[in-house]
Amino acid sequence: MDNILSILIFFPALAGLLGFIVDKDSARAYGISVATIEFLLALWLWMIFDGSNGGMQFIEMVPLIADFGISYYLGVDGISLFIVVMATLMVLLGMIGLSIKKDIKNMIISLLFLEMTMVGVFLALDAIIFYLFWELSLVPMLYIIGAWGGPRRVYAAVKFFLYTFFGSLIMLVGMLFLAYLYHDITGVWSFAITDWYALVLPFKYQMWLFIAFFFGFAIKVPMFPFHTWLPYAHGQAPTIGSVILAAVLLKMGTYGFIRFSLPILPDASVEMITPIAILSLIMIVYTAMIAYSQKDMKQVIAYSSVSHMGIIMLGVFAMNAEGISGSIFLMLSHGVVSGALFMLVGVIYDRRHTKMMSEFGGLASVMPKYATIFGIMLMASVGLPLTIGFVGEFLVLLGFYKISPIMTLIAGSTIILGAVYMLSLYKQTFFGPVTNQENHKLKDLDKKEMMSLLPLVAIVVWLGVYPKPILEPIDNSVKHLVAFMDKKAKTQEAKDIIISTTLIREEK
Amino acid sequence: MENLVYIALFAPLVGSLFAALFAMTPKNLITAFVTSGLLFVSWVASSSLLMYVMDHGTISVNMMEWIAAGNLTIDFGFQVDAITAVMMVVVTTVSTVVHVYSIGYMEHDKGFNRFFSYLSAFVFSMMILVMSDNFAGLFIGWEGVGVCSWLLIGFWYHKADVSTDVNPSISPSWAANEAFIVNRIADLAMLIGIFLIYWNVGSLNYDVFFAAIPSLENSLLVSIGIALFIGAMGKSAQFPLHTWLADAMEGPTPVSALIHAATMVTAGVYLVVRANPLYAEIPNVSLFIAYLGTFVAIFAASMALVNRDLKRIIAYSTLSQLGYMFAAAGLGAYWVALFHLAAHAFFKALLFLGAGNVMHAMHDELDIFKMGGLKKAMRGTYLYMGLASLALAGIFPLAGFFSKDTILEVAFNEHTYIIWFVLWITAGLTAFYSFRQVFLTFDGDERYKKETDAHPHEVQNFVLVAMAPLAILAIIFGFFMNPFKEFATTILPAYEMSEHTHHIAWILIIVTTLIAVSGIVLAYKKYANGLVRDEKMENSFIYKLLQNQYYIPKFYMEFIAKPYKEISDILWNKVDMKVVDATVDGIAKIIYFTGDKSRKMQTGNLSDYLNWMGVGAMLLIVITALSMSLS
Amino acid sequence: MIGLSHYMILSGLLFSIGLIGVLRRKNLLMLFFATEIMLNAANIAFAAASHYYGDLSGQMFAFFVIAVAASEVAVGLGLLIVLYKKNGSLDLDNLTVMKG
């Protein structure tokens, strides 16, 4: 099947359209079956994907506006493949665990459209198509937060929308300028990212473009100091919204850096390592400390997401295969783990309609299964070896050590500070005697919740012990990327910092 | 042989997973039998591996690739050489005993099955730690034992937070978190060490790294050595990361025996012994290790002198003995450190298990001032604890005598007389506090009748029998010193005493035995005939200082934990909300404000609009004219 | 000799008269007349420039403008009548429904 990528993108959207005529009572079942098919399609894509090939595969290209070089251009490589698989998985599990009763049909349809945009962003190889999906993804999310959120949902939704939209517009300007430069140099118009890769740009332009792209991606990540929309969005969003937001939408930003900034602007990227690393370090330490002082469980996890995204950013700018592969792996693991943690908070919120830690205490005695799964996810979140969280974190820190040992030391404080806020959350919520009478009669996880959480537990352990099936294709694509950057970089400084492993291997 | 390696390694894991299946169901003896049985299997496999390694040398197996990215390849690789074999046998011996012991000790606990699951998981992590052939695998075990220790210290998680005036720990869950977080601080340093090794050697395998040592710069080796040692300091609770160990006594006593005496806390010593080719190249760092170990030995012993908590005394003595091990390792006598590690594991686990019996008899009362005269009711336990304390004090012919005496000889031989002197004093202190504890618990007047409502009774017979292997090992292990030396030095550097030390060795032995015996005699005089409280001494500054552990826990609380919380609160309330977020909202407000103001332009009157249009057109013309004239 | 600049000045004057009319008059009908004056000012400029360059496209454009102006008046006057019927006045100061 040649059009697997198109099917993957548009199947949920078409199914979402059909969803309007589905009966209200069967909407959830319909959504789950569509998401299952979509997930199976993604798995199938993984099956037929050639892991040893680091380049783009399953390329589809249909010219749309030939005069301006805009085309419907899709492709997948090791970097994007697993994010797509994870996105479809998280949508599926989120739907299984869905506990919303109000307007369930609209929720399902929004989710399916959201799924289309998410898959589209990661598969697009044309800047305009990429931008289209990038912006479209805001719409269902705006709706999900605004319609099913908490008391301040409108403020949170509008803030989320306007803030990220503002950044994306600057990114769009960057894209247009890049296309203009491409036209200037080659004489033809093209918005294909792969064409842009071939472009060797003067350093001054690279810097300007880098800054333009930076705004779009950094707000999405979200990097300090552009992170303040995130706690509101998470705090007000319904569980499913937080899950998707943390698991997939944030990854768009870091993915953008890898897909655009690094290969198109290698010299500027190398030049910007220090400022970005400093911002990332602030993210890691500062938000970890803020997470510690939160009183709302969900806010702890929201801020911890920012902290972990800081590590991912460091890995992206490590400029060697270890760091970049690690950061892509960390994107996946953070998606799985933070998604699971948000679901877990949702479980307790459904029962008590509060997320305040002070309301709880001693839950481990009342809800042992819940406490166990929370504990496993907690350990994955603090990066315990043999869980999924360790592999990425270890590789990122290892990779960035080559750039700066001191910065790595500061970034490494994440393993301490992460333990501090997560363990303090766990102690306040699960340990101690049951003090609140209402907590005595809480029910442990039911079947539906187990169904949505157990697969994630399995993934956490499986990929922690045996990450190879995923790490290998990622690593192949990343080696491809790093070797390309090394070849393309103009300044000697950049060439020195980018470590191309393929070349070293050949010398051996 | 490969299969034996896997059996030794994975039997505890299988046991743990099996017990985990029953974790949420009521007590089921089968979990205990399965886990203990599998540990025995692991012990048999470890012992056969020890025999095999003695005859045939190191075994290496490579299970599968774990992480591969860039140039980095990390395998699940295991090797069993002399050091590992010794560690494996020590670990499985103590843990098998502790498992069987726990069947009795945890008899009435609700979390019976869960306990065995955690305990076996710990053994598995410990086995990974000692068997791995690379630093990443070591780190898996390193963190794994940390988590199991977290689970087990906090085993009675349902206990409420209670502040005590002297002991800083407020609840098991608090102590568990403290242990985990303090260990993480050290783990960070260890990670840095691992990164240094990778970027300079290109591999994390022990063999590759050790082979590359001669070609590496000295300053780099010093950095690696320091980073790895800081990692070791966390696990082995060396100053200043020592506070968690005493607080870890909140956990069940079998846990203290297994994790916080015999195995996990010795992981740091294991690391230094394992990395001996590295530390041999950096004598300054090694000497620092020796001095720090010596300092910790006397520092911990001094705190044990006045403590009233049965388990904390033993915990401090563990700390002190770890100091001895580091002193030996730092002075280059690696096999001596390993020997003391093994001997200490046996008698200290025995001591802890004995303390567990006492706790059971006294209904979890830990204050030795409220005990006394227990020997009538608990003869077997008295015997065991007395024996273990003798071994700890270093009395001939028990295991502690041989190992501790050799360490002192080494210190003398290296001409580091300060170390020798301090360790010598510490030997006296050790004897004193060990027997202070024994006499206060088992001899003298029966204070418990007044102070508590406990009716002490001896534990079940099978528990006493289960403890017997440790007692036997505590007695006879010392006589295996020469075979042990021969075996261990097949891969560790042989440490030879100089001719001079050899000649005066017997003087050293006598001097050491003398101070140990006088410590015991002093303790006997003071405590064997009942407790006489000396108010003046108890109110003295030094007594208070020691009782409050030099105010270090308080210092950490006031100057690290609390400020951290306060700064976090400030960052959230003041910086994040009031500065960063307010800026963003401010920008949005400016846009809103200007829009609101300029709304007045929209009067609805067409001629006003036309006027504005005229102004705009004029402006455009002016701008165009200006830009044309400028260009 | 009457040259291009004379036509241009005439056109400019007419345009200014129209513009002032648009800006100052309050009656919508008068605004229409003023607009017509402006359009015709442009027409003069087109025709003059066309003659000056010997290029017919300027005159063609003037015809275009006339056609557009005619249709605009037709539609515009229709709307005015509706407006007048509805409000009974064409005074702009009274027509402020769109006040923000």
- In A, which residues are within 8 Å of B24 by CB distance? 368-369
* pLDDT for A218: 93
Residue B297's contacts (CB-CB under 8 Å, 6 or more residues apart) are B320, B321, B323, B324, B327, B422, B423, B426
Residue A136 lies in a domain: no
Residue recorded with tokens 């029998």: B465
Residue C98 lies in a domain: no
**Residue B326, Cα to own-chain centre: how many angstroms?**
14
Contact B81, B92 (CB under 8 A): no
Q: What would the mean pLDDT of B58-84 be, rounded to a whole number? A: 90
- Measure the CA–CA gap between B580 and A207, rounded to whole angstroms: 26
Contact B101, B115 (CB under 8 A): no
The partner residue sitting opposite C92, judged by closest CB among B599, B602, B606, is B606
CATH number of the domain enclosing C28 = 1.10.287.3510
Q: Which two three-digit tokens encode residue B401?
A: 């005598």
Residue recorded with tokens 């959350």: A425
Q: Do chains A and C touch (3 or more CB pairs under 8 A)?
A: no
The partner residue sitting opposite B140, judged by closest CB among A369, A385, A416, is A385
Residue C85 lies in a domain: yes
Residue A120 lies in a domain: no
Residue C99 lies in a domain: no
Q: Does A413 touch chain B (CB under 8 A)?
A: yes
User: Which of A79, A163, A223, A228 would you mutate first to test chain B, the one with the most B CBs within 10 A?
Assistant: A228
Q: Among A280, A397, A292, which Cα is nearest to B188's?
A: A397
Q: Does A436 touch chain B (CB under 8 A)?
A: no
Provide the residue range defining the domain that includes A306: 284-480
Cβ C99–B607 below 8 Å, yes or no? no
The partner residue sitting opposite B70, judged by closest CB among A419, A424, A475, is A475
**Confidence band, pLDDT 50/70/90 cuts, at residue B23:** confident
What is the secondary structure of B568-582 as a DSSP string? HHHIIIIIIIIIIHH
Containing H/E element for A204? helix A203-220
- pLDDT, tens digit (0-9, with 9 covering 90-100), for B569-582: 999 989 988 999 99
Cβ A290–B572 below 8 Å, yes or no? yes
3-state secondary structure B77-100: EEEECHHHHHHHHHHHHHHHHHHH
* pLDDT for B181: 93
* pLDDT for A421: 94
B38-47, B308-317, B537-546 — which is least confidently predicted?
A: B537-546
Q: How many CA atoms lie within 13 A of B75 on its CB side?
A: 13
* pLDDT for B239: 85
Q: What is the pLDDT along chain A (508 residues), one digit of tens a residue?
A: 678 899 999 999 999 999 889 888 888 999 999 999 999 999 999 999 988 888 888 999 999 988 888 999 999 999 999 999 999 999 999 999 888 888 899 999 999 999 999 999 999 999 999 999 999 999 999 999 999 988 899 999 999 999 999 999 999 999 999 999 999 999 899 999 999 998 888 999 999 999 999 999 999 999 988 999 999 999 999 999 999 999 999 999 999 999 999 999 999 999 999 999 999 999 999 999 999 999 999 999 999 999 999 999 999 999 888 999 999 999 999 999 999 999 999 999 988 888 888 888 888 888 999 999 999 999 999 999 999 999 999 999 999 998 899 999 999 999 999 999 999 999 999 998 888 888 888 889 888 899 999 999 999 999 999 999 999 999 999 998 998 888 888 888 778 787 765 444 443 3
* pLDDT for A508: 35
- Measure the CA–CA gap between A494 and A492, rounded to whole angstroms: 5
Q: What would the mean pLDDT of B220-238 be, rounded to a whole number? A: 93
Contact B42, B14 (CB under 8 A): no
* pLDDT for A501: 56
Q: Any idea how long chain B is? A: 631
Cβ A225–B567 below 8 Å, yes or no? no
Per the structure, the count of domains in chain C is 1
Per the structure, the count of domains in chain A is 1
Contact B350, B314 (CB under 8 A): no
- pTM of the predicted protein model: 0.90
Residue A343 lies in a domain: yes
Cβ A475–B569 below 8 Å, yes or no? no
- How many CB contacts within 8 angstroms connect chain A with chain B? 163
Residue A234 lies in a domain: no
- In B, which residues are within 8 Å of C100 by CB distance? 599-604
* pLDDT for A426: 93
Residue A409 lies in a domain: yes
Cβ B614–C19 below 8 Å, yes or no? yes
What is the secondary structure of B489-505 as a DSSP string? TTTSPPP---HHHHHHH
* pLDDT for A5: 92
* pLDDT for B279: 93
What is the secondary structure of A91-124 as a DSSP string? HHHHHHT----TTHHHHHHHHHHHHHHHHHHHHB
Q: Which two three-digit tokens encode residue B242?
A: 């020592």
- Measure the CA–CA gap between B304 and B550, rounded to whole angstroms: 12
Please, what is the end-to-end C-alpha distance for chain C in angstroms? 54
Binding partners of C (≥3 Cβ pairs within 8 A):
B
Letter string b/e over residues B28-43, b meaning 16 or more CB atoms within 10 A of that residue's CB? eeebbebbbebbbbbb
β-strand B72-80 against B59-69: which pairing, if any?
A: antiparallel
- In B, which residues are within 8 Å of A292 by CB distance? 564-565, 568
Mean pLDDT, rounded, of chain B:
89
- pLDDT, tens digit (0-9, with 9 covering 90-100), for B284-303: 999 999 999 999 999 999 99
- Measure the CA–CA gap between A426 and A419, rounded to whole angstroms: 10
CA distances to A169, A325, A401 from A217, rounded to whole Å, are 11, 19, 24
Q: Which two three-digit tokens encode residue B563?
A: 């400020």
**Res B309 pLDDT > 90:** no
Q: How many CB atoms lie within 10 A of CB A203?
A: 13
Residue A141 lies in a domain: no
Q: What would the mean pLDDT of B361-388 be, rounded to a whole number? A: 86
Task: Scan residues 9-38 of C and list those with Cβ closer than 8 Å to B.
Answer: 19, 22-26, 28, 31
One-letter amino acid for residue B604 of the chain: G
Residue C82 lies in a domain: yes
**Res B75 pLDDT > 80:** yes
Cβ A466–B583 below 8 Å, yes or no? no
User: Which of B21, B63, B66, B132 would you mutate first to test chain A, the one with the most A CBs within 10 A?
Assistant: B66
Q: Does B198 touch chain A (CB under 8 A)?
A: yes
- Measure the CA–CA gap between B11 and B605, rounded to whole angstroms: 89
* pLDDT for A505: 42
Residue recorded with tokens 């229409």: C32
Instruction: Give percent of chain C above pLDDT 90.
Output: 47
Evaluate the CA torsion angle B108, B114, B115, B116 in order and state its sign: positive
- In B, which residues are within 8 Å of C19 by CB distance? 614
Q: Do chains A and B touch (3 or more CB pairs under 8 A)?
A: yes
Provide the residue range defining the domain that includes C50: 4-93
- Measure the CA–CA gap between A436 and B491, rounded to whole angstroms: 59
Task: Scan residues 74-93 of C and list those with Cβ closer than 8 Å to B.
Answer: 92-93
DSSP A71: E
**Res B350 pLDDT > 80:** yes
- pLDDT, tens digit (0-9, with 9 covering 90-100), for B473-524: 999 998 998 899 989 888 888 888 888 877 888 888 899 999 999 999 999 9
- In B, which residues are within 8 Å of C95 by CB distance? 604-606
**Confidence band, pLDDT 50/70/90 cuts, at residue C16:** very high
Cβ C98–B604 below 8 Å, yes or no? yes
**Confidence band, pLDDT 50/70/90 cuts, at residue C100:** low
